[in-house]
Structure 1
Amino acid sequence: MTVSSPSPLGFPAQTTGKIGYVVKRYPRFSETFVVNEILAHEAEGREIEIFALRPVEETHFQNIISKVRAPVTRLRQPLRKQDSLWEAQKTLYALRPTAMTAMMQFPESSESDLYQAILLALDCLSRNITHLHAHFGTLAATVARIAAALAGITWSVTLHAKDIYCDYDEDHHLPLKLADADAVVTVSDYNVRYLNESLGCDPQKLVRIFNGIDLNAFSWSAPQDQPHEILAVGRLVEKKGFHILVEALHILRDKGLRLPCRIVGGGNMQQELQDQIDASGLSETVHLIGPMPQDDIIRAMQKATLLACPCIVGADGNRDGMPTVLLEAMALGCPVVATPVTGIPELVTQAETGLLAQEGNPRDLADQLARLWRDAELRAALSRNARARIEADFNLHKNAAELGRIFDRLRCDDRAVATQGGL
């Protein structure tokens, strides 16, 4: 095993072996933060392999996916015949007899999850993968947790928001995962407090690392003096609060202020939102334009007067953690109006780096939109401050490097060392 000098965190940085990224689906249009993180690791020389547990469902993808060098393995699912699980177990036990005992640690797991975990463990053993990292604490963490135990390696997870707060019909056993993970990463201080105080996560293994963006790809420019349009970007789902945005624009129209707005994205609320737009008499000024490639979104942000991000907590507890679209807009210089949901106030400070409207309050949102639309000096000041905030704390390469140091420290764990010599 090759060991380099200690990292800035005080851990010995170890560079032998690959990192396996475990995700439910890859790629996903709305999860550019995963792609950006992998690219940052690759830029630092880490070898990454990606494991996807479910088929791709979307038809539109971001351009940056083509830059990822990591191979993608789509683990088979579901079981295709009765003896598939047993056949996979026999193969694993022949290579690693101790996995038989490890398998008994997961009585709550389904056959499908066990099967994919065995396949993942076999890939780890044969491909010199010494650490697994899951994004989201649901299915990806379920499979990564089991696979790591079977392969005798370490694992970690990044928790965002839905996977922490959503009231799922199915129990995803998050407390078990928090107890077993070698490191738990989350994207806001708000989440850290909740995971520690409400779910009992060990503070020694819990760390906040903000999502970051590649500042080289998002050059700042001052906002235009003359207002142009409001832009909103995200999936058309309840937690994005776009129905609140449409209601706010309706309120402003009734006050004589007709603000043009484009809403970029697709989702299950598309027809509902279109019906709301039509019923409100806004069809000439408010447009749902579907998904767009990231390059086109960047150009739209550079021209927009402001970005509206009116997030809410959904009826099932689903919410955003730290919307990437806010980071991107603020880096580019597009002023933002958001809501104080989950970790957003750690990014958007009222009247300093953006404006905040009360969650779910269309009248307050209307007031904040109108204020920013009418005040060119305020837009300019918020734009400058927002870029400085992004540069200070949301630099992709800086934040990914911190995560990478955690990986390196964990790969020096005795379990990882034990697998270095082969199967």
Structure 2
Amino acid sequence: MTVRRKTLVVLKGYPRLSETFIAQELLGLERAGFDLTLISMRKPTDKKRHPIHDEIKARVVYLPEYLHNEPLRVLRGLIGSWKRPGFRPLLRQFWTDLLRDKTRNRFRRFGQALVLAHEWPDAGEWLHAHFIHTPASVTAYTSILTGVPWTCSAHAKDIWTSPDWELTEKLAKARWSVTCTRSGFEHMRQLTDRKDEVHLSYHGLDLTRFGHFDQRRSDRDGTDKSDPVRILSVGRAVPKKGYDILLQALAQLSPDINWQFTHIGGGDELSKLKPLAESLGISDRIFWKGALAQEEVLSHYRQSDIFALACRVAADGDRDGLPNVLVEASSQNLVCISTNISGIPELLTGGENGFVVPPENPRLLAVAIERAIREPDLRHRLGLAAGRRVREHFDHTSSIRQLTRLFEDEWQKS
């Protein structure tokens, strides 16, 4: 039997409401017998927590988010590291990286790695990074300094906003890497000769938290002013979510349709979206709920008629992989309307289990929404098909089994 190694999991921030897929994976690994300590590069900023965060038993250690805020920890890390055999190789790697990425962020990751290596919580025996951009930088630097091997889970923004040279070097140094969409998987495999060490692993959904919804949904079709069709979206208000496109699409719906739109999530773009809704003349139909806990989000899935998310590739290359909210909504037989980017077509097929339109196209998005409103029987059929697909192909237990096998295979070799 493989001995499970004490694993330090490096995260950008913990806990985060927008990253329940990571929390779900951490809990699944704990239940599979993994001994984890969570290393967070940032302290939490969300005012609420999901119940799943309270179920995770792993201790959380916070690194200095900004080096100047905790100079003594950084100084102790530097003094404690410079006699290590790995310190000079780390300096060489850091200098090489700095010449290609002359940013304050590069110094921050170096300093965080010094602190992590010096403090070395709970006698860690393995390093694992969630996200291949900044968390993997801290992890890779720490691995050079300590000699402890590392592995990596890549997701979406981290893949598409990282330069190819950096991805190539990290993929060469990590023992293995996983990612959660086929587009990200294929991109990463193109950048490395170690193609067999890049794996596709869908996050899936904990179906015990998103139980089967067996009630028939409403037949609202927009004709009753006192009972408008309920359109829902869940996601941070950031450019890649395309909420400006969605608002424009809603404004183009036929004036005879009665609808209301609910948005759940925080995000900096709310300050722009609310005035946009005013200028489009639809603000009186919109409810901005802010960030909500998971059980509240589930209630909204079950009370709504349509789920819409207008994902796009942002100007800086940032994009979603396969948004977990689409999997969640689909699990509740709620018909989803989204775009054909990244991993979304791996879940949704237009005309079979949802509506899929090109990004950046409010007119076609409006056409899809209007059809879903006017044809309740169609949206019921597509929603039921989406629910079946989630339960057959996106159960998170298969991902946990895959990750367990990857870790254990590597530990047996080491």
TM-score (norm 2): 0.89
Instruction: Let me know the Cα RMSD of the aligned residues.
Output: 2.2
Q: How far 1:248 moved relative to its partner?
A: 0.9
> Measured at CA, do residues 292 and 195 of structure 1 come closer, stay the same or move farther in structure 2, by a change above 3 Å?
same
Matched residue count: 395
Distance of 1:148 and 1:412 partners within structure 2: 19
**Paired position in structure 2 for 1:7:** none
Distance of 1:172 and 1:52 partners within structure 2: 25
Q: Is the 8 A contact 1:18 1:48 kept in 2?
A: yes
Task: Check if 1:68 corresponds to 2:63.
Answer: no
**Paired position in structure 2 for 1:53:** 41
Deviation sequence 1:241-283 (CA, Å, 0-9, x none): 11111111111044x2232111111111112111111111112
Distance of 1:296 and 1:134 partners within structure 2: 30
Q: How far 1:104 moved relative to its partner?
A: 4.2
**Paired position in structure 2 for 1:224:** 217
Distance of 1:68 and 1:375 partners within structure 2: 43
Query: Which structure's relative contact order is higher, taking Cα pairs within 8 Å and 6+ residues apart?
Result: 1
Task: Check if 1:103 corresponds to 2:90.
Answer: yes
TM-score (norm 1): 0.87
- Residue type at the aligned position of 2:317: G
Q: How far 1:77 moved relative to its partner?
A: 4.5
Distance of 2:73 and 2:294 partners within structure 1: 41
Among 4, 18, 25, the alignment partner of 2:6 is: 18
Query: Any idea what SS the aligned residue of 1:196 has?
Result: helix
Distance of 2:145 and 2:262 partners within structure 1: 49
- Residue type at the aligned position of 1:303: Q
Distance of 2:356 and 2:271 partners within structure 1: 28
Q: How far 1:120 moved relative to its partner?
A: 2.2
Query: Any idea what SS the aligned residue of 2:308 has?
Result: strand
Task: Check if 1:194 corresponds to 2:167.
Answer: no
Q: Is the 8 A contact 1:223 1:305 kept in 2?
A: no
Q: How far 1:122 moved relative to its partner?
A: 4.0
Q: Which runs of 5+ in 1 are unaligned?
A: 5-13, 415-423
Q: How far 1:153 moved relative to its partner?
A: 2.1
Q: Is the 8 A contact 2:305 2:335 kept in 1?
A: yes
Q: How far 1:395 moved relative to its partner?
A: 1.1
Report the structure, 1 or 2, having the larger helix content. 2
Q: How far 1:32 moved relative to its partner?
A: 0.7
Task: Check if 1:161 corresponds to 2:156.
Answer: yes
**Paired position in structure 2 for 1:251:** 252
Task: Check if 1:211 corresponds to 2:212.
Answer: no
Task: Check if 1:113 corresponds to 2:109.
Answer: yes
Distance of 2:401 and 2:386 partners within structure 1: 23
Distance of 2:352 and 2:3 partners within structure 1: 41
- Residue type at the aligned position of 2:374: R
- Residue type at the aligned position of 1:206: V
> Measured at CA, do residues 84 and 399 of structure 1 come closer, stay the same or move farther in structure 2, by a change above 3 Å?
closer
Distance of 1:92 and 1:167 partners within structure 2: 28
Distance of 2:168 and 2:216 partners within structure 1: 45
Distance of 1:223 and 1:186 partners within structure 2: 35
Query: Any idea what SS the aligned residue of 1:379 has?
Result: helix
> Measured at CA, do residues 398 and 377 of structure 1 come closer, stay the same or move farther in structure 2, by a change above 3 Å?
same
> Measured at CA, do residues 77 and 410 of structure 1 come closer, stay the same or move farther in structure 2, by a change above 3 Å?
same
- Residue type at the aligned position of 1:196: R
- Output aligned runs, 1:193-342, within 5 Å: 193-197=186-190, 199-200=191-192, 202-221=194-213, 222-227=215-220, 228-254=229-255, 256-342=256-342
Q: How far 1:121 moved relative to its partner?
A: 2.8
Among 138, 141, 147, the alignment partner of 2:142 is: 147
Q: Is the 8 A contact 2:4 2:35 kept in 1?
A: no
Q: Is the 8 A contact 1:138 1:172 kept in 2?
A: no
Deviation sequence 1:157-180 (CA, Å, 0-9, x none): 111111121378xx9923221221
Q: Which runs of 5+ in 2 are unaligned?
A: 99-105, 221-228
Distance of 1:377 and 1:57 partners within structure 2: 42
Distance of 1:204 and 1:167 partners within structure 2: 21
Q: How far 1:150 moved relative to its partner?
A: 2.3
Query: Any idea what SS the aligned residue of 1:30 has?
Result: helix
- Residue type at the aligned position of 2:251: H
**Paired position in structure 2 for 1:355:** 355
Distance of 1:152 and 1:238 partners within structure 2: 39
- Residue type at the aligned position of 1:163: D
Distance of 1:411 and 1:277 partners within structure 2: 54
Deviation sequence 1:284-332 (CA, Å, 0-9, x none): 2122221111111100001110110111111111110010101111112
> Measured at CA, do residues 342 and 366 of structure 1 come closer, stay the same or move farther in structure 2, by a change above 3 Å?
same
| Identity among equivalent pairs (%) | 29
Q: Is the 8 A contact 2:74 2:115 kept in 1?
A: no
Distance of 1:318 and 1:261 partners within structure 2: 25
Greater Cα shift, 209-218 or 393-402: 393-402
Greater Cα shift, 72-81 or 133-142: 72-81
- Output aligned runs, 1:73-88, within 5 Å: 73-80=61-68, 87-88=76-77
